[in-house]
Amino acid sequence: ETGVTQTPRHLVMGMTNKKSLKCEQHLGHNAMYWYKQSAKKPLELMFVYSLEERVENNSVPSRFSPECPNSSHLFLHLHTLQPEDSALYLCASSQGDLRTYEQYFGPGTRLTVT
Amino acid sequence: GENVEQHPSTLSVQEGDSAVIKCTYSDSASNYFPWYKQELGKRPQLIIDIRSNVGEKKDQRIAVTLNKTAKHFSLHITETQPEDSAVYFCAARGSNYKLTFGKGTLLTVNP
């Protein structure tokens, strides 16, 4: 797939594990986002990076730690997660002014915390 | 902050019929309203969007209407086909860059 890619696509981890989700965009965009998608709930914005600088941390627990080393890559580091953190984690990217351009989503990582 | 309500949560129509999904928002400063389609196991994809200076926008079988006074916007799909079956999400962007999403509508088009 091109555009926005995410790895891994599926992840099962125990509550004491440490893992990382990776997102890469091939669109030349300068903003990247992490969303959480849980069953029967709206998409929840977690983090926003613009020009590699975090501009939003939407009251997300510290067990989720984002990293944006450059405008093409975004990571979400996970540690000591809870079962309620099981969800689809979607990465998105956009170009230009954050207020005016559409967001392109990746395929997501299906996370299961056991 | 912004609050977006979406109805109905599920919608079943016969092939060829029209489908309408409605959303309301709370922030009067919201100025951008996209609609995303998410097929099972796939990523959300933008299908149409509308900005606050426009009341209606159409793209083939899909149209979106916006009523700023009432703070609601709707997605209209005409001549539905089985491949239109998916979850549809509305969203609203307020005075900042944040998109607030509705809970989604599962549309099933029966052949």
Q: What's the one-letter identity of residue A70?
A: N
Return d(Cα B94, Cα A99) in angstroms, integer: 8
Tokens of B103: 């809970």
pLDDT in tens, A53-110: 777 776 899 999 999 999 899 999 999 999 999 999 999 999 865 655 688 999 999 9
Query: Is the minimum CB–CB distance between A102 and chain B shorter than 8 Å?
Result: yes
For residues B13-26, give the mean pLDDT: 97
Find the residue in B nearest to A56 (Cα): B98
Position A99 scores a pLDDT of: 59
Q: Sort out which chain A residues have CB atoms less than 8 A from B93's CB and list them.
A: 99
Residue A47 DSSP code: E
CB A88, CB A109: distance < 8 Å: yes
In this prediction, residue B94 has a pLDDT band, given cuts at 50, 70 and 90, of confident
SS (H, E, C) B53-82: CCCEEEECCEEEEEECCCCEEEEEECCCCH
Task: List Cα–Cα distances, A82 to A18, A41, A50, A75, in angstroms.
Answer: 12, 18, 29, 19
Position A54 scores a pLDDT of: 74
In this prediction, residue A112 has a pLDDT band, given cuts at 50, 70 and 90, of very high
Query: Is the minimum CB–CB distance between B40 and chain A shorter than 8 Å?
Result: no
pLDDT in tens, A14-64: 988 899 999 999 999 988 999 999 987 889 989 988 877 777 776 899 999
Query: Is the minimum CB–CB distance between B44 and chain A shorter than 8 Å?
Result: yes
Position A11 scores a pLDDT of: 96
Are the Cβ atoms of B45 and A105 closer than 8 angstroms? yes
Position A100 scores a pLDDT of: 58
pLDDT at A1 over 60: no
Position A102 scores a pLDDT of: 84
For residues B46-72, give the mean pLDDT: 93
How many inter-chain contacts (A to B, CB under 8 Å) are there? Answer: 47
- From A77, A80, A59, A81, select the one nearest A68 (Cα to Cα): A77
Around Cβ B81, how many Cβ atoms within 10 Å? 12
Position A95 scores a pLDDT of: 85
Are the Cβ atoms of A99 and B100 closer than 8 angstroms? no
For residues B29-50, give the mean pLDDT: 93
The residues facing A33 across adjacent strands are A48, A92
Position B76 scores a pLDDT of: 98
Mean pLDDT of chain A: 89
- From B22, B24, B18, select the one nearest B105 (Cα to Cα): B22
Mean pLDDT of chain B: 93
Position A98 scores a pLDDT of: 62
